[in-house]
Amino acid sequence: MRLPPYLLLAVPLLAVLAACTKQTPPTPRFPAIGQLQTFDRSFGAVVASDARIEKLTEGFTWSEGPAWVRNGGYLLFTDVPENKLYRWSEEAGLSVLLSPSGYTGPELPTLREAGANGLYAEPDGSVLLADSGTRILARLDPVTRKKTPLATAFEGHRFNSPNDVVRRNDGVVFFTDPPYGLKDLDQSPVKELRFNGVYRLDTDGSVHLLDDSLSFPNGIALSPDARTLYVSNSDPKRPIWMAYTLDAQGAVTGKRVFADASDLMAKDVPGLPDGMAVAADGTLFATGPGGVIVFDAAGKRLGRIATGEAVSNCAFGNDGHTLYMTSHAMLTRVRVKSLGLQFVR
């Protein structure tokens, strides 16, 4: 069968158009950085091998405390040394929500980090804020920008510099209090507590000390059943993650070392155990040496999400399958197969 002349001309043209379409994939909006490192083959069930680590924005001194506000569809995070709290969304990009985010008074020679640090977005859209500079735990209304103190002291002594915070479904709050906000850390003349604590704040406003033995308690997270509290210790001499068994009231009934990062420490591997995020299946995404280290619920290392810089904290956002990471001067993210715990509550 002979083709008409117009079809003979159309066939090669269509072939050229198809080839051009195939060879010109859309340019990604955000550049890819870093790499995924597999420690156990089950890592592929958590993060796809071809997942892109995206750099969303940069230019920060030390980005921290990411928290996804679900009823607003945006991410909040802090830059602690710069005393700023940022808002980021896919549509609007980056903007400053609060400056100063923490301490608002005249410059103090005893203050090392004036800004707010860790954040936790509550179901009603308000945000729990570990205010390192003001040395309090507070609640922030992102709309009015009003900050309400929740806890300011333990047994009459001011906190050191609250660092990170997590909330249980019933409103009970857990937080860490290392000395990072104070210029001379444990030797600071304004440090009123002889220890660096892990605390529980009950709904009646009472504060309870859960552990005073860690040198630098930092990141904090809860297991899906809220019966295990994870706390990172950001000490290069003892870089560990602790697991505390909790009773129904939130009191500690046992504790153990969940994981140890000593063998991952190296001069060319940035980062220490810091902030964490928990998936609905119990998988723990824990910042540490080299990036975000992924553990199963038993503490086995599955893999690492390496951005190339120290990662301070991480949080799930969007549909619950996007992990946002504050990575030194950058804000980054990666798609994961795990579903963030807060997205099933």
Annotated binding site for substrate: 163, 186
Helix (H, G, I), strand (E, B) or coil at 53: strand
The CB-based long-range contact list for 229-235 (8 Å cut-off, 24+ gap) reads: 229/174, 229/198, 230/258, 230/276, 230/278, 230/284, 230/286, 231/176, 231/198, 232/272, 232/273, 232/274, 232/275, 232/276, 232/286, 232/287, 232/288, 233/273, 234/178, 234/272, 234/273, 234/274, 235/272
Counting beta carbons within 10 angstroms of the beta carbon of residue 41, is it exposed (0 to 12), middle (13 to 18) or buried (19 or more)? exposed
Which residues lie closer than 8 Å to 92 by C-beta, 6 or more apart?
74
* Radius of gyration in angstroms for the set of CA atoms belonging to the chain, rounded to a whole number: 23
From CA 258, how far away is CA 243, in angstroms rounded? 5
Asked if residues 337 and 323 have their Cβ atoms less than 8 Å apart, the reply is no
CA distance 221 to 164: 9
Report CA-CA distances (Å) from 343 to 54, 317, 320.
22, 9, 6
Active site residues: 274
Q: Are 287 and 311 in contact (CB under 8 A)?
A: yes
Alpha helical stretches, state H, 1-149: 5-23
Smallest CA-to-CA distance from 311 within 325, 300, 324, 297 is with 325
Rounded-to-integer distance, Cα 185 and Cα 170, Å:
34
Whether 158 contacts 103, CB under 8 Å: no
Strand bridging mode 53-58 / 63-69: unpaired
Letter string b/e over residues 242-259, b meaning 16 or more CB atoms within 10 A of that residue's CB: bbbebeeebebeebeebb
